[in-house]
Amino acid sequence: MKIILPDNSFKELPEGSTALDAAKSISLGLAQKAICAKVDGELFDLNEVLPEECKFEIVTKDSPDALHVLRHSAAHLMAQAIQHLYPGVQFAYGPATEDGFYYDMKLPTTISVEDFPAIEKEMQKIVSQNLEITRENLSEEEALKRFENQKYKTVHIHELAEKGASLSVYKQGDFQDLCLGPHVKSTKYIKAFKLMNTSACYFQGNKDNDSLTRIYGTAFFEKKDLDDYLKVLEERKEADHKRLGKELGLFMFSDFGPGLPFWLPNGMIVRHELESFLWDKLTEGGYSFLKTPQMLSRELWITSGHWKKYKENMYITKVDGKPYAIKPMNCPGAILVYQNDLHSYRELPIRYAEYGLDHRHEASGALNGLFRVRAFTQDDAHIFLAFDQIGSEIRRLLKLFGDVYKTFGLSYSIELSTRPEIFVGKISTWDKAEAELKECLEENGIPYEINEGDGAFYGPKLDFKIKDSLNRVWQCGTIQLDMQLPHRFHLTYTDKDGKKKEPVMLHRAIFGSFERFTGIIIENFKGAFPTWLNPEQVRILPVNNDEAVMKYAAAIEKKLKNKNVRVSIDDRNEKLNYKIREAQTKKVPYTIVIGNKEAESKNVTYRLYGHMDSKTVAENEFVKIIEKDIKERQVTRNY
């Protein structure tokens, strides 16, 4: 048998060799470090027999996939500890996740975070026993007998058997679990772990099934990595947009409309600034703005294909006895606008922008502040162009996206999703479009990854992954190349030769939605927005209520308001330190302290948010400082 190594070299092995045999043939030292293997791109247990010919790679703890394997093993470790402490527990599923792991189970008693220390202690005991973790393949009959007392495992065995999937068990000491693996070699590898929280869930996510308990945890190879992660979690808790949204008066929700955000006065200022900023950018870029109806008839959604794909998530009503749907997306409306006129090649590209309010019925359990809502406004655009204009338009869009994200201090990378198994159009057209997208990305030096086969059925797409100040990655922007909707709606333009041609359509959003992007930047800035975005930009604090002091404070307020600066005076009868602390709590960018000295000299003593020291400048100089800060949309403020 033959294996292909990462450097594309070949290695011959005896028939029936396992992944561990292959590792040893490469290097004994590498074999000792091996966690598992990667065979043809899939994680593979070290003791499994390799296929006749395959791509082969060893996974060590330094490999990107290693944490996934460790965390899967940690889920088994937790389950074993719970089995010791809560006899009679019924186990469902226990996968690894991006940040850790969880296990769903039916417990004989209620469990809470107060019980976690006892579970963790039992887990440490099992780790110290250095139990070997072994794999065993089973028939359906053997598996059913092995798990005859485990209700949910029995259901899973039947499901796997119906699909013709292989069945395997991983064992460690007195614990066994139905699992495909792979896992670490023994429990001693699971050194650093922490149980995080618990929640209720349904078996297989179906509300008609049994209610279960889900316990979440995380694990790392080293304690330092765990400690660093827990520190980051504390920072994220401090930056939580739901808490900050309430404290800063940005948005709220009501039980009268779950998932439907209410924008409060301060939040509307932030949103208005975002809308205005993007409006100016798009107007400069040759976009025309639309506003399309909030609901349209079923026939339109059938033609567009959304009725078949999104019906379950659409809000449907009747008008004059005919089915209508509140729009879940804006593209059909933009298409109707395009159809309203005849078009020539000379007009292309036609760029329609719309701040479109969309509604989608998300599951109640998925709702999460502004990150996941049922009503959201997309910063949508639909661009109609000729096929040979795709490259130039993508280049324009890449510059636009870069300029916008730079304004918020956000770095980003791009994921290029290519032709899926089920697609429409010619392969040659797809290949040409994908090649064009790659060329655009490479010539601009933008980091990107290929997501093979994950494009939309109507065309390839670019997804923009932005990284915030807490090193989290969010998907916000997208550019989708659509060669299907123009065909469905029989869109045309008159080409140079006088013949009718079908345009190509680009769907693009930069923020994604104003709701989600606002949530992201609340957490990115930890509520301390750049001055241009902040609902309150300056707060004036009179030291006393002397007439001269109050008169000068009012004069500064008036001058700043005349410059369209959002300013207020805190003239409450409170101590100055108390008012300074409150201004800092509310994350006001500039706090001005006015005393008798300032009133006499016509100077301004100001303090920046997050700074302990203050600076005194002439009144006119301060006005220039804040005007420059706002005009240039500076991300950070300096004295």
Q: Is 382 a catalytic residue?
A: yes
What was the pLDDT predicted at 305? 84
Q: Which CATH architecture has domain 538-631?
A: 3-Layer(aba) Sandwich (3.40)
- Supply the angle between the helices 390-407 and 427-443 in degrees, to the nearest 10: 40
Nearest alpha carbon to residue 605 among 620, 596, 592, 622: 592
Lowest-confidence segment of 2-16, 114-128, 286-300 by average pLDDT = 2-16
What was the pLDDT predicted at 612? 87
Q: Is 360 a catalytic residue?
A: yes
What are the tens digits of pLDDT across the range 585-599? 999 999 999 999 999
Cβ distance 211 to 499 under 8 Å?
no
Looking at CATH, the fold of the domain delimited by 2-59 is given as Ubiquitin-like (UB roll) (3.10.20)
Do 2-59 and 251-292+327-524 share a fold? no
Q: Is 378 a catalytic residue?
A: yes
Which of 331, 526, 587, 629 is catalytic? The answer is 331
- Residue 49 bridge partners (DSSP): 18
pTM above 0.85, yes or no: no
Which of 68, 327, 360, 587 is catalytic? The answer is 360
Which of 71, 461, 516, 526 is catalytic? The answer is 461
How many C-beta atoms surround the C-beta of residue 529 within 10 A?
25
d(CA 533, CA 549): 29
What are the tens digits of pLDDT across the range 286-323? 999 999 999 999 999 988 888 887 888 899 999 999 99
What amino acid is encoded at 419 in this protein? R
Which of 71, 351, 507, 526 is catalytic? The answer is 507
Look at residue 298 and give its three-state secondary structure.
Answer: helix
d(CA 99, CA 121): 22
Q: What does CATH list as the number for 66-236?
A: 3.30.980.10
Which of 104, 115, 177, 380 is catalytic? The answer is 380
Asked if residue 49 has pLDDT above 80, the reply is: yes
Average pLDDT over residues 372-398: 94
Average pLDDT over residues 228-233: 90
Which of 80, 172, 176, 378 is catalytic? The answer is 378
Residues contacting 371, CB < 8 A, separation 6+: 241, 516, 519, 520
Whole-angstrom Cα Rg for the chain: 30
What was the pLDDT predicted at 473? 86
Strand extents, DSSP E, 500-637 = 500-501, 504-509, 538-542, 567-569, 590-594, 603-608, 615-618
CA 532 to chain centre: 25
Q: What does CATH list as the number for 251-292+327-524?
A: 3.30.930.10
Tell me the domain boundaries of the chain.
2-59, 66-236, 251-292+327-524, 538-631
What are the tens digits of pLDDT across the range 411-464? 888 999 988 887 767 788 788 888 888 888 888 788 788 888 888 777 888 999
d(CA 385, CA 481): 11
Q: Is 80 a catalytic residue?
A: no
**What's the mean pLDDT when you consider all of the chain?**
92
Q: Is 461 a catalytic residue?
A: yes
Ramachandran sector of residue 236 (left: φ over 0; alpha: ψ -120 to 50; beta: rest): alpha
Q: Is 468 a catalytic residue?
A: no
Residue bearing the bigger pLDDT, 455 or 24: 24
Q: Is 361 a catalytic residue?
A: no
d(CA 200, CA 79): 17
d(CA 275, CA 353): 12
